[in-house]
Structure 1
Amino acid sequence: MNKSESIVEISKALAKFQEEVKQPLKDADNPFFKSKYVPLENVVEAIAESGPKNGLSFVQWPKNDETGRVGVATLLMHTSGEFIEFDAVFMKADKETPQGAGALITYLKRYSLSAIYGITSDADDDANSSSGNQASQSKTNGARASDKQLNFVTKLLKEKATNDIPQDRLYNGLKNRMKTDVDMENWTAQQASEAIKILSTNKSA
């Protein structure tokens, strides 16, 4: 991460933004989790409503690395001149085609912006909790992770592993971040979703 010498003003502005932001509706279908998520354009729209008046703006640009992975870097800026440049998030496209790369870039932009600005862009059980629908909430929280979810977590772990941070260490760090000692084969769908979000929005777990 690269940043200006001081980030006092940008931190204040980001805190103010997070007080004011209206969380966007989850109205796009997620084929992996059979749930809803917030598409990129809705994330950007939510940011545009409160970000500029608090002096915040951003730019994102695609990158690639020597292994052929596609990445997205994000620069958060403030009118004071302060900035925070976040580490690029890299992943391997499922299909090595322009369309596959484009879809992955959109995906990485959405996850990066959501993490930086505090946008809740993924499915969760807030609606069940607020409505008191305990039976539905229990069913959601207790559902076992699908093979597709677990395979995707494994794929991300392999892609992010390095000589300095091998896969087993990365996996243990991921479980620490999730505050669980349960092995991934016994995770719920919600835990698998959380793991994917952590691995997709952080340089390392």
Structure 2
Amino acid sequence: MKRSESIANIAAALCYFQSECPAPKKTATNPHFQSKYSPLEEIVTTIKPYLAKHGLSFFQSTTTEGDYICVTTLLLHTSGEYIESDPLKLPMGKVTAQGAGSAVTYARRYSLCAALGIAAEDDDDANAAEAGVSQKASEKQLNYIDSLLNKKASDKYPKQALYERLKEQMGVTHDMEEWTVEEASRAISILTGKGQQK
């Protein structure tokens, strides 16, 4: 995390902001787990009046590293003070314009919420990564992946063979019990036909 030499003014402003800003409405549903979350546009619409009231604004920059999207959130105060988050890095899933756009939106949402200290989804959302750190996949995610593999398995393509092919497509060698939230989400995307596997 980077910050200006002094953060006295921005710290006070963020304190007031957090005490007044309501939680964004959870108007969207995670298609895999049916949990509720706030889409990016809902978050921005909710926070902007309260940011402005306390002399705050934000800026988000996006870069790429191979197949990964990196988003950094910069919080600014009218005093000139600032706090910049560490980059949040997420895999694109599909290396296409659509895949990149989806990853950018996802990363912007999590990075912004983490920087402002607001919650924008259900506590049990299996994709939670508000701190911008890769967390281990939840049991719910892993069980869902297992059920998808069972569903796709056949005499011609046994479950273990499908599992190994999935790992190969994801570019991982470690077992699914050690996958991160992002890796599990990518596996689900592939298995549900939104990724590379046919």
Query: TM-score range with shorter-chain normalisation?
Result: 0.5 to 0.7
- Superposed displacement of residue 19, structure 1: 0.4
Amino acid paired to 2:46: A
- Superposed displacement of residue 149, structure 1: 7.0
Q: Which 4+ stretches in 1 moved above 6 angstroms?
A: 148-151
Task: Give the 3 Å change call, closer, same or farther, for CA 61–150 of structure 1 in structure 2.
Answer: farther
Q: Which runs of 5+ in 1 are unaligned?
A: 126-142, 160-166, 168-183, 186-191, 198-205
Name the counterpart of 2:58: 58
Structure 1 residue 90 corresponds to structure 2 residue 89: yes
Name the counterpart of 1:146: 141
From the two aligned structures, give the one with the greater helix fraction.
Answer: 1
Q: What is the distance in 2 between the residues matched to 1:115 and 1:14?
A: 13
Q: Which runs of 5+ in 2 are unaligned?
A: 125-137, 147-166, 183-198
Question: What TM-score comes out, normalization by structure 2 length?
Answer: 0.64
- Structure (1 or 2) with the larger CA radius of gyration: 2
Name the counterpart of 2:37: 37
Q: What is the distance in 2 between the residues matched to 1:86 and 1:4?
A: 12
Give yes or no for contact 1:4–1:82 (8 Å, CA) kept in 2.
Answer: yes
Q: What is the distance in 2 between the residues matched to 1:13 and 1:123?
A: 26
- Superposed displacement of residue 38, structure 1: 0.3
Name the counterpart of 1:120: 119
Q: What is the distance in 2 between the residues matched to 1:21 and 1:12?
A: 14
- Superposed displacement of residue 196, structure 1: 4.2
- Secondary structure of the corresponding residue to residue 85 of structure 2: strand
Q: What is the distance in 1 between the residues matched to 2:10 and 2:34?
A: 37
Aligned ranges 1:101-120 → 2 under 5 Å: 101-120=100-119
Amino acid paired to 2:64: N
- Superposed displacement of residue 49, structure 1: 2.1
Aligned ranges 1:178-189 → 2 under 5 Å: none
Question: What TM-score comes out, normalization by structure 1 length?
Answer: 0.62
Q: What is the distance in 1 between the residues matched to 2:77 and 2:143?
A: 40
Give yes or no for contact 2:38–2:121 (8 Å, CA) kept in 1.
Answer: yes
Aligned ranges 1:168-187 → 2 under 5 Å: none
- Secondary structure of the corresponding residue to residue 140 of structure 2: coil
Name the counterpart of 2:25: 25
Task: Give the 3 Å change call, closer, same or farther, for CA 89–146 of structure 1 in structure 2.
Answer: closer
Give yes or no for contact 1:60–1:75 (8 Å, CA) kept in 2.
Answer: yes
- Superposed displacement of residue 144, structure 1: 5.1
- Superposed displacement of residue 150, structure 1: 7.7
- Secondary structure of the corresponding residue to residue 5 of structure 1: coil
Instruction: Number of aligned residue pairs: give it.
Output: 143
- Secondary structure of the corresponding residue to residue 5 of structure 2: coil
Q: What is the distance in 2 between the residues matched to 1:87 and 1:146?
A: 26
Give me the identity figure in percent. 44
Alignment RMSD (CA, Å)? 2.9
Amino acid paired to 1:98: A
